[in-house]
Structure formats: structure tokens, C-alpha cells
Amino acid sequence: GESVGLHLPTLSVQEGDNSIINCAYSNSASDYFIWYKQESGKGPQFIIDIRSNMDKRQGQRVTVLLNKTVKHLSLQIAATQPGDSAVYFCAEAFSGGYNKLIFGAGTRLAVHP
């Protein structure tokens, strides 16, 4: 499910399955990472964030994994529900800056009953 170019990749899953959305970030100096969910007609909604001194962080039904060696971030959603259908964006930032987020192109998650 990595975002490539202008085409929005789609991850299709069955309701109840676990989903994994991947993201490759670009700046090795980035030390703050965040996942957003965007539903049609709405703004990006904060899901979970992680700082570079951690490699895993868990929320409610979501887990973010960070691999700084290969500059890779993933979002795991447990027991995926139809309401999880949306576009998911990862973003990176460098704390020496001003909280400027650099967004990936996004991955569309489609949950089928």
C-alpha cells in the first residue's frame, strides 16, 4: 500500500480482517510522524503519532510501527470495520523546524462486508 506518484493505491480488505498501510518517508532527519484519516468531504483527522525515540505505539485498534533504518512507517488497523474506509495519509516533520508536516500521497482503504 505505498503511495507512488499521482495514483492513489487502494488496499482492499474484508471486514474483520487486519489492515496494514505502509509509508516510506524521505528525510532521515525527520523525528515526528503522524497518520491521518480522510473521509470523503471532510478534512484529515488525526489518528496517531510517533516520535523517533520509539519504534511502536498503540492506540485504540491502531498501531504505528517506525523503522528508521529503512525510513518506513506503517499503520496497522485491527478488526477493520466499514467505517474505516477512507484515505490514509502519513506525514513527517522535523522538530528543528516549526512543525511543518510533509504529507505522503495517501492510500485508499476499502473495506468489504
Among residues 40, 110, 48, the alpha carbon closest in space to that of 82 is found at 110
> Of the candidates 64, 73, 86, 93, which one interacts with another protein according to CB under 8 A?
93
Q: Which is nearer to another protein, 46 or 60 (CB)?
A: 46
How many residues bind another protein (CB under 8 A)? The answer is: 25
What is the Cα–Cα distance from 14 to 102, expressed in whole angstroms? 30
12 binding another protein? (CB under 8 A): no
CA distances in angstroms from 97 to 17, 26, 32, 54, 103, listed in the order given: 38, 16, 11, 20, 15
Q: List contacts with another protein (CB under 8 A).
A: 6, 31-32, 34, 36, 41-46, 49, 51, 89, 93, 95-96, 98-101, 103-106
